[in-house]
Amino acid sequence: MVGSMSDGAGPESETETGRLKQWLLLDGNRFAIAASIAATFGAASLLLSISGLAPIADAQPLFYAFSGLISGNFTLITVVVSINQLLLSQELKSPGELESEIQQTVDYREEVEAVSNRTAPAEPSGFLRLVVESARRDAQRLGGTTVGSLPADTRDEIDEIVTELTDEFDRIDGLVEESDSGIFNTLSTTLETNFAHEIQRLETARRAHGDEIPAKTDDAIDDLLDRLREMDIARQYFKSVYLQVELSRLSRYLFYAGVPAVGTAIAALFVMTVASGPPFGRPVRAVLFPLAIAVGVFPLTLLLSYILRTATVTERTAAITPFTTPEQEI
């Protein structure tokens, strides 16, 4: 189904909910989301403290809480090591494997260049626009071959498919043009695109009216199907590159966030080991300890924010052409 997320306006509340969900899962800055969740933890702790429900009169429970934050953040180090091992396993290849992978990538690039009769850009955004341009041209060529050569019902079916595909190609091209050239911004323009049903409809129409479809129309259908497959190949390749980049950044950012989080939790523990109690009054404790909690949980919320996006991208691109999944029918 083409561009299904943008179909239909729906109630205003549902629209706002959809935008919030889209921002949380994909579009939002990962640090902003992580900071917001961590701040929520801190604000909840502060509210409990100043309301008297948790007045922090006894520091012993906080001792256990900060001890848990320290052990939890050290556990994140294991996560970072596992992520780096995953990335490293993808990069450790023999010269023959590297040569084969490069050759296959070059072959795919040359196929795109042969169809478009242009040199393909090296940047993902420019390459995707070239593939989309070729697909739009072949879709319009298919629409032109149906004029006066097919029965009305078959022509209407193919023209409807061509119109839907052309609109979707224009949408993708516009989004790529407006967005930055980063790998995720390029990939995100195709996450709402699924050509499985259009491919099925074209194949069904050709099988149902094979004797009535002239050779030039049949060839145009083959060319368009090839372009749709090339678009999906580009999307799947961009996804693999994006996931490697995103996981690499996540492992580095977890180290950056984990060090101050562990340091803050350790400092809070040292403060609570004073025999006479924390060297500041209850009002200061009511603010300082919730702040320390927010800093302590930030690495976990950062991990959560990145996993939300990588999991969403993986779910929405799980099936490859010509298959689809219920999760991609959104």
Domain ranges of the chain: 42-91+246-328, 95-244
The model's confidence at residue 29, banded by pLDDT at 50, 70 and 90, is: very high
Q: Which helix (H) or strand (E) holds 221?
A: helix 215-272
* CATH classification number, 95-244, choose in 3.30.70, 3.30.460, 3.90.1200, 1.20.140: 1.20.140
Least confident of 70-79, 163-172, 231-240, 318-327: 318-327
In terms of C-beta density within 10 A (0-12 exposed, 13-18 middle, 19 or more buried), how is residue 182 classed? middle
**What are the C-alpha distances in Å from 216 to residues 118, 203, 226, 240?**
24, 15, 15, 36
Residues above pLDDT 90, as percent of the chain: 48
The model's confidence at residue 281, banded by pLDDT at 50, 70 and 90, is: low
pLDDT at 146: 84
Mean pLDDT value across residues 301-309:
94
Query: How many angstroms separate the CA atoms of 74 and 66, rounded?
Result: 12
Mean pLDDT value across residues 280-296:
82
Q: Would you tell me the crossing angle of helices 95-116 and 215-272 to the nearest 10 degrees?
A: 130
Mean pLDDT value across residues 201-224:
88
pLDDT at 36: 96
pLDDT at 7: 45
The model's confidence at residue 272, banded by pLDDT at 50, 70 and 90, is: confident
Mean pLDDT value across residues 160-178:
92
Mean pLDDT value across residues 54-78:
82
Residue 12 pLDDT > 80 = no
